[in-house]
Every structure is written in structure tokens, then in C-alpha cells.
Chains A and B, each alone.
Chain A
Amino acid sequence: MADLLTHIFVGYTIGMVLTWKYDKLKSAHVTAVMVGSTLPDLVRIRLLLDPVKIEQVLGIPFSWGPLHTAGGVIIIVAVGSLLSVPKESKIIFTLLLIGAASHLLLDALLISVSGYSYAVLWPFLDFHPPTPGLYLSTDVWPAMITGIIALLVRMQDQIR
């Protein structure tokens, strides 16, 4: 997982560009893409609710892992779209999904010591694809680069 701020900058950039293309979209919709870009990191709930302890208490296997895979993300996005007013549901579903997909894609490029990333497309595909290893979630530069791009997009938006 790249750091959350990098994901949000990317979500913001995608959302803003979408508003240039589709007049119907407002800044509330840019926010929806940004929210989508954070959703896979709901998996960090594992820091609060340790899955190993949950397994011990319930006596069944348990992992938060699916939240950071395509399958779990689609479910969370669907729940999110159902939380919005019915006339917005379809567009919110699409925007959240775009944001979340950008997150999964960026994280599939992270450096990994084994050379393999994570089960991106689980449960549709049970495979950890090899990663080109472009950056670490603890690197400082991804947030700087994506932050500069987001800022340029914002400036361009104000000119328009």
C-alpha cells in the first residue's frame, strides 16, 4: 500500500479531469473518487482488530485481506453507493470504483521483497502477480510527485 496521501492525490487528479469531461460532475463527485481511492486501505482495520485474535475468539479462520482485493472492494463500493440518494447511486458506484481501482493498481506496482505483489484480483483470480517494484509506501517522493500533479490540475481547473 502506497501512503494514503499519494492515493488521495491520484484520486483527486482523476476526479478533476473527469469533471472537465463531464459537465454533470461537481466537486462532490471529485470527493467521491477521492473516497474511493482510500477504500482498499480499510484493510488497516487489522491494526485495531487483530485477525489472529479474532480467529482465536471465534474459532474460525479470519482475515481482513479481502478488503484490499478486487472482490472486497466491489462489495464495499456497492455498499457505499447504496448509502447515497437513489438518483446518485449509479454514478457514485462508478466514481468510487474508479478511485478504488486506481488504489489497487498503484499498490500492485509497490516494491516487494519476494518480487510478487498481492492477490489483486482475488477471488476472481487467486494469484499474486509479479511487481515491477517502483516505490515503497514509506517513500517520500510519491506523495510529492502526485501532490505536484494534483496542484497543477487544480490550477488548470481554475483557469478553465
Chain B
Amino acid sequence: MVERLFKPMFESKRVRTTMMISLLVVLLILFIWYGSISPEPGKGRFPGNDELVEDYENYIGEKVEISGEVIETEPLKIEIESGDKTIELEITGLEEETEEGDRLTVFGTAAENRTIYVENALIRPLWRYVYMYGVSVVGATWIGFRVLGQWRFDREKFALEPRENPLTIREIIFRSKRGDEDG
């Protein structure tokens, strides 16, 4: 019964498009909803860069979770960002050595004079991030080739369909025309 009702529904281009648009509207509502949520330490959600850059004084005495670039080491200072705005924070109580340019993630207590008392911190040199984004690009490329080789867009049905005969990488690159090629 359910099958008989749903099958023709999904076949219709108009129904599918309407469903997609409705889902994206719901997603937009989630974006706005999530944006309106305030920090709540009891739920594990601490004030972060956005809150501190917006109004540091409002969070004095509270636990905060921030991250930024080391701009000075004696005393240790980091710059945290939110939108176009940045502020500088002094970090005290960190035992490990840092270098200018390192990325610091800090959990600690916000105090007067834009100073954070560290409870726990992570120091990461910039190359770690370069590595992370580098391998992410490798992964994305791998997936890109697999999708192009194994799936095709059927204009008639306005949908993606697995290819009967997957293309090889060479065929994808040189865009050789084959029987089931269709954009």
C-alpha cells in the first residue's frame, strides 16, 4: 500500500523538487535556530570566540573555549577572530613552550584585563593545518573521480543514476564519449 502510494510520487519530477525545496527550508530554519542558541556550560557548550569578541566583559569569571594564533610569547598573547573583528587575549598558566604563528586552543577562565587562566590547552604548529587541508583535498579529489566515473546525470529523469559501465580515470579526464555518456 505504502509502496504503491510512494512510488509514483517519487517518479514525479515536480514532487521531488517540491520535497527538496521543503527540506532546504527546514534546514534554513535550523540554521537560524542554532544561531540563536546561547552558551550553556551545563550542556557542554561554552562561550567561544564569537561571544568573547562581541563582549568580553560579559563573560568575566566564566569558563570559555577559544582558539587563535599566537602573536606574542613573552607574555603569551593570542589573537582571536570573529567575523571582521579580532581581540588580543593574554594567556597565563600554560606550561608548554609556544612559538609565534602556532595555533592555540584554550579552555580556561576569563579574567579581568582580557586574560585567560588556562585549564587545558592544545598547541598546534601551522603545518598541521596545512597537512589537514592538504589530505582533505586529496580525499575530495578521489571522491570526485569516483562520482564522475560511476554516476551519470540523466536529463530526462532529472536525477543521478549509476552507470552501467563505469568510466576509467583516463576516460573521465579526456571526456571520451561512450554509449552511456550524458553529461
Interface residues in chain A, defined as those with a beta carbon under 8 Å from any beta carbon in chain B = 3-5, 7-9, 26-31, 34-35, 38, 41, 50-53, 55-56, 60-66, 69, 71-72, 75-76, 78-79, 82-86, 88-89, 111, 113-117, 119, 122-123, 126-130, 136-140, 143
What are the residues of chain B within 8 A of A65 when measuring CB–CB?
31, 34-35
**When the two chains form their complex, are residues A85 and B136 in contact, meaning their CB atoms are under 8 A apart?**
no
Are A63 and B35 interface neighbours, CB within 8 A?
yes
- Docked pose: A41 CA to B132 CA in angstroms: 13
Q: Is B7 an interface residue (CB 8 A)?
A: yes
The 8 A CB mask of B134-174 against A (1 = contact, 0 = none) is: 01101110110011001100100101111100100000000
Please state if B35 and A60 are interface contacts (CB–CB under 8 Å): yes
Query: Are A114's CB and B82's CB within 8 A?
Result: no
Complex interface: chain A residues within 8 A of B151 (CB): 28, 31
Give chain A residues whose Cβ lies under 8 Å from the Cβ of B83.
50, 52-53, 56
Contact A82:B31 (CB < 8 A) given known A4-B139, A38-B140, A138-B131: no
Residue B56 interfacial (CB < 8 Å): no
Interface of B is mostly: helix
CB distance from B101 to the nearest CB of A (A): 14
Q: Are B32 and A61 in contact (CB under 8 A)?
A: yes
B59 CB to nearest A CB, Å:
14
What's the Cα separation between A64 and B159 when bound, in Å? 27
Q: Does B36 contact A (CB under 8 A)?
A: yes
Q: For the complex, give the distance between the alpha carbons of A143 and B46 in Å.
A: 29
- A83 with B160: in contact, given A28-B150, A31-B147, A114-B46 (CB under 8 Å)? yes
Given contacts A137-B132, A138-B129, contact A122 B19 (CB under 8 A): no
